[in-house]
Amino acid sequence: MADRTAEQGGDQTDLPPSVPLVLERAAARFAGREALVDGDLRLTFEGLLEQADQAARALLASGIQPGERVAIWAPNRAEWAIAALGTYRAGGVVVPLNTRFKGHEAAYILQRSGARLLFTVTDFLDTDYVELLRDHELPALGETIVMGGAVPGGCSGWQSFLGRGEAIDRSQVAERVRALGSDDVCDILFTSGTTGRPKGAMLTHGASIRAYDSWASVVGLREGDRYLIVNPFFHAFGLKAGILACLLKGATIIPHPVFDVPSLMRRVAQERVTMLPGPPAIYQTILDHPDLASYDLSTLRLAVTGAATVPVEMIRRMRDELTFTTIVTGYGLTEATGIATMCRHDDDPETIAHTAGRPIPGVEVKLVDERGRSVPIGEPGEVLVRGYNVMKGYLDDPEATAAAIDPDGWLRTGDIGVLDEQGNLRITDRLKDMFIVGGFNAYPAEIENIMMEHPSVAQVAVVGVPDHRLGEVGKAFVIPRPGAEIDPDALIGWCRERMANFKVPRSVEVVEAFPLNASGKVLKYELRDRSG
């Protein structure tokens, strides 16, 4: 029976029950070590705790109550981490927003989560996030704090926000921290589904800490490592495998706001970076860069990748040309706190490239057929995950929660995979048609729903097609309305104005009809095959 339970890892009995206590432990254990470096700002672990408490006191002064939601819509920067840690220490729940969202996408999550306060910026890549929300009704949102850029009327600046915390005694923050337990929700990460309506996965303190202590141990992250976090903080990869993992192991958080090879490589040299994770697109772009040899990459040691197909040759080149000694891949989904399986550092390149490894300690994986019966080793089946890492449920959506998690605690991932004799999982297909663009999940139903609003589009089918740099990108097959003509480039431009850039199809093919099965369902595998 294709059913695997992970080997048990090291002792995790001494782990703190909440993220705020992880930060306190880090301040005690690693004290004077650098915890966070961003431009001229250099904070020790003690200094980071002080900054987080200052933010927490300001949140209390702003009226944030335990369990209330605080949203963050900004690129990777020091204030992002401080705001999140401050929210945790105030007993609040962090709701991260994708920096690629358009206004209506962000507004939906702010409305759905009932976020009381928003941290954001007005100066990221010529985008003013406050302006994007200008015409949206957000009745629950009491205040917007601008962490970077000009502060519009009706908003507060970061420093003035922090200043209001002076009126709050530190003991009030300590009281909030003591009240937190391992089963309390620490953040709500929204993930789109096949219906196109994002759902908020409620993730807990205890599960996050245990999962990323295992993750960091498998990777080999250790005290003194310098971790360039390019993976976005709004994603579990940046928030939990980044900020939280650094706090657990005593590594330095070095936020990087955008993936730009020259700036990234300069920071590797300047900050003596040892840890650089990311989707395969990051490493492929670095390897293909014409000036790669001119950068000093000698400090790089650790790499973690996944979320897309990983070429074996890329793994070999990463070891030979980028000086990495440890490269691992993994598999996870937001509903499983972002992690379920991992390769181990001593796996061979073929295992790392072709599989997502074995379950992390304390987590089970099994594969089942359409009737829920376990399939034999080597046979494809839907991937089910069970363990402490499974989300508490979807926010205010018991029906969706019941559909995702069965009465025995198994989370249906919607992914099709195969297990080998060693228990390594290989993802082969996706029940939900999702494809992954440079590490970001793109859902055809969501994209199709938006494209159907175009006045010339009668029908649309979106599939993921291979891309050398990003792993996969979207391709849209479009049937025009009677009498209408569609210019593919113009339609792509129209999409860019209405959806996050990773969702925008990179190509559009105008067709007269779709291939259909006997029940009239579009045969997307035929469309993918047609695309080569």
Q: Give the containing element (helix H, strand E) for 127.
A: none
Query: DSSP class of residue 253?
Result: E
- The answer to whether position 419 is within a domain reads no
Residue 176's domain is classified under what CATH number? 3.40.50.980
Choose the final residue of a domain: 147, 180, 213: 180
- The answer to whether position 174 is within a domain reads yes
pLDDT per position as a tens digit, 100-128:
899 999 999 999 999 999 999 999 999 99
Domain count, the chain: 2
Is residue 436 helix, strand or coil? Answer: strand
- The answer to whether position 400 is within a domain reads no
Q: Give the Cα separation of 146 and 156 in Å (integer).
A: 6
Structure confidence at residue 434 (pLDDT): 79
Burial (CB count <10 Å: 0-12, 13-18, 19+), residue 179: exposed
Q: Give the Cα separation of 339 and 218 in Å (integer).
A: 12
Q: What is the DSSP string of 174-202?
A: HHHHHH--TTSEEEEEEE--TTS--EEEE
Q: Give the Cα separation of 333 and 382 in Å (integer).
A: 14
Structure confidence at residue 532 (pLDDT): 65
pLDDT per position as a tens digit, 225-242:
999 999 999 999 999 999
Q: Give the Cα separation of 305 and 282 in Å (integer).
A: 9
Stated length of the chain: 532
Residue 73 φ then ψ, to 5°? -125, 90
pLDDT at residue 454 greater than cutoff 80 = yes
In a 13 Å sphere around the CA of 166, the CA atoms on its Cβ side amount to: 5
- Provide the pLDDT confidence category of residue 10 given band limits of 50, 70 and 90: very low
Choose the final residue of a domain: 122, 150, 180: 180
Q: Give the Cα separation of 156 and 484 in Å (integer).
A: 48
Q: Name, in order, each residue with C-beta under 8 angstroms of 173's C-beta and a sequence gap of 6 or more.
A: 53, 56, 57, 60, 89, 90
Domain ranges, residue 497? 435-530
- The answer to whether position 453 is within a domain reads yes
Query: What single-letter amino acid sits at 119?
Result: F
CB 97 within 8 A of CB 138: no
pLDDT per position as a tens digit, 170-219:
999 999 999 999 999 999 999 865 445 789 999 999 999 999 999 999 99
Of 505, 500, 450, 503, nearest to 97 by C-alpha is 500
Q: Which residue has the tokens 């970001």?
A: 440
- Cα-only R_g, the chain: 23
Query: What single-letter amino acid sits at 210?
Result: R
In a 13 Å sphere around the CA of 254, the CA atoms on its Cβ side amount to: 24
> Which residues are bridge partners to 26 per DSSP?
none
Q: Give the Cα separation of 361 and 216 in Å (integer).
A: 12
- The answer to whether position 58 is within a domain reads yes
- Provide the pLDDT confidence category of residue 38 given band limits of 50, 70 and 90: very high
Choose the final residue of a domain: 165, 180, 195: 180
CB atoms within 10 A of CB 172: 14
pLDDT at residue 462 greater than cutoff 50 = yes
Query: DSSP class of residue 502?
Result: T
Structure tokens belonging to residue 134: 């200008």
Residue 483's domain is classified under what CATH number? 3.30.300.30
Structure confidence at residue 7 (pLDDT): 40
Structure confidence at residue 307 (pLDDT): 57
Burial 227-244 (b: 16+ CB within 10 A, else e): bbbbbbbbbbbbbbbbbb
Q: Where in 284-369 does DSSP place strands (E)? A: 302-306, 326-331, 341-342, 358-359, 363-368
- The answer to whether position 95 is within a domain reads yes
Of 234, 244, 235, nearest to 206 by C-alpha is 244
Query: What single-letter amino acid sits at 26?
Result: A
- The answer to whether position 267 is within a domain reads no
Structure confidence at residue 9 (pLDDT): 42
Is residue 46 helix, strand or coil? Answer: helix
> Which residues are bridge partners to 310 per DSSP?
none
pLDDT per position as a tens digit, 481-522:
889 999 999 999 999 999 999 999 999 999 998 887 654 567
Query: What single-letter amino acid sits at 187?
Result: D
Helical residues (DSSP H) of 298-379, grouped into ranges: 312-321, 349-354
Structure tokens belonging to residue 213: 């202590």
Kindly report which listed range (47-51, 333-337, 445-449) carries the lowest average pLDDT score.
Answer: 445-449
- The answer to whether position 129 is within a domain reads yes
Q: Give the Cα separation of 530 and 532 in Å (integer).
A: 5
Q: Give the Cα separation of 106 and 270 in Å (integer).
A: 35
Structure confidence at residue 5 (pLDDT): 38
The CA–CA distances, whole Å, from 465 to 286, 470, 474, 504, 524 equal 22, 10, 6, 13, 11
The CA–CA distances, whole Å, from 2 to 341, 356, 366, 380, 416 equal 15, 15, 6, 10, 13
